[in-house]
Structures are given as structure tokens and as C-alpha cells.
Amino acid sequence: MKNRLYFNIEESRDNVFNKIMLEQNTIGYYNLPKQDISNILEFVDSFDKDIENIMVLGIGGSSLGAKAVYEFLKPIKKPKKKLFFFESTDPLNILSLLNEVDIDKTHFLVISKSGGTVETISIFKYIFAKKPSSENYTFITDIDSNLDKFAKELGSKVFYLPPNVGGRFSVLSVVGLLPLALSGVNIKEL
């Protein structure tokens, strides 16, 4: 056939491999399996033992990866702490989730890479009005974002995302590892 595309599998495989190798210099998710997670493990070890629930306030990549792993592992091994995910600004959904827990035995992870995700900040403001205590919140964001500045003013713990890791690839960053570790998942094995 005249217009048939010539395709050399060996050549294409080499090109793809070389492009991936170059990509590793700029895209951070390749390095996540080799990262130092000691700060996450230290936080988990010092975490309040009376906390029964972890509520993740995050949209899209800020919650999807952790939720997928948690839901997959939950039937295999009972979690030490329950994870809940606020992924919608629907008031009925928010009230329903809050009614499932004792808010005094709940810790909130507020996750926004940019520090300005409107949905996440809206949910956080609503919950913070009900429970305005700095020790009930941990923030995950970019350095110097508005959320980082607020967390520091509040005196809450802040974890930072690698700047070259996008939300949808963040499950093996602090975004996914922290909630999973708090629920009892062995993140070293993960």
C-alpha cells in the first residue's frame, strides 16, 4: 500500500525509553519511590492516639490516589483509623460526612498544591468555623502558597509537595502517603 506508515518497533522503543530517561530530570513522580519519608513516619509516630478519623479535604489529585489505595486495602486489613474524603462542595455531602464522625476525635488534612483551590478552601473554612483548633489540622501545599502562610499563622503542621509533581501523579507523595500512613498502611512497603 502506498500510504502505509512505516513503523520500526525497535527504533520506537529506544526513542520512548530515551524520552522517559530525559523526563526524569524534570518530572518528579519518577523520584517518588526513592524519596525520604522519615518526616511522614515521625509525624505518624507522634500522632494523637485518641484520633479515630482522618478527613481529607482535597479535590482531584489531592485525594483520588489515597482514596483508591485505601479502598483497595480496606477489605484486606482493617484500618487503624478511618479515612473520609471531602471531594465535593455539596452541602448535603459535607454534612453527611461530618455526621459520621465525632469531630473531637477527628483530624483534618487540608490538601491544595496551589494553596488556593476554591473547593478545598471553602470546605476547610466551613469545618474550621465548627472546630477552630490548630492541632486538628495538617496542611499539604506548596511552599509560600496562601494556604502555607495561613497554616503557619495558625501554628499547624505543614508538609510540602515537590514542585515538579502534579496532582494526578501525587499518590506516592505526601498527598497520598500521609493519609494512608495515618490509617495504618505500611507506606515503606507501598
Count of residues in the chain = 190
Task: Please give the residue range of the domain that contains residue 96.
Answer: 36-182
**Is residue 161 classed as helix, strand or coil in its secondary structure?**
coil
Instruction: Answer whether 121's CB lies under 8 Å from 57's CB.
Output: no
pTM for the model stands at 0.86
Q: What is the pLDDT of residue 31?
A: 82
In a domain, 8, yes or no: no
In a domain, 26, yes or no: no
Amino acid in the structure at residue 12 = S
In a domain, 92, yes or no: yes
Amino acid in the structure at residue 82 = K
In a domain, 177, yes or no: yes
In a domain, 23, yes or no: no
In a domain, 13, yes or no: no
Q: What is the pLDDT of residue 2?
A: 52
Each residue's pLDDT tens digit in the chain (190 positions)?
455 555 566 667 777 778 877 877 778 788 888 889 999 999 999 999 999 999 999 988 888 899 999 999 999 989 999 999 998 889 999 999 999 999 999 999 999 988 888 999 999 999 999 888 889 999 999 999 999 999 999 999 999 988 888 777 788 999 999 999 999 999 998 8
What CATH number corresponds to the domain at position 108? 3.40.50.10490
Q: What is the pLDDT of residue 57?
A: 95
In a domain, 4, yes or no: no
Q: What is the pLDDT of residue 8?
A: 63
Alpha helices (H) in 3-117, listed in sequence order: 9-23, 38-45, 64-73, 91-99
In a domain, 63, yes or no: yes
> Residue 124: which of 158, 156, 147 has the closest Cα?
147
Q: Name the domain count of the chain.
A: 1
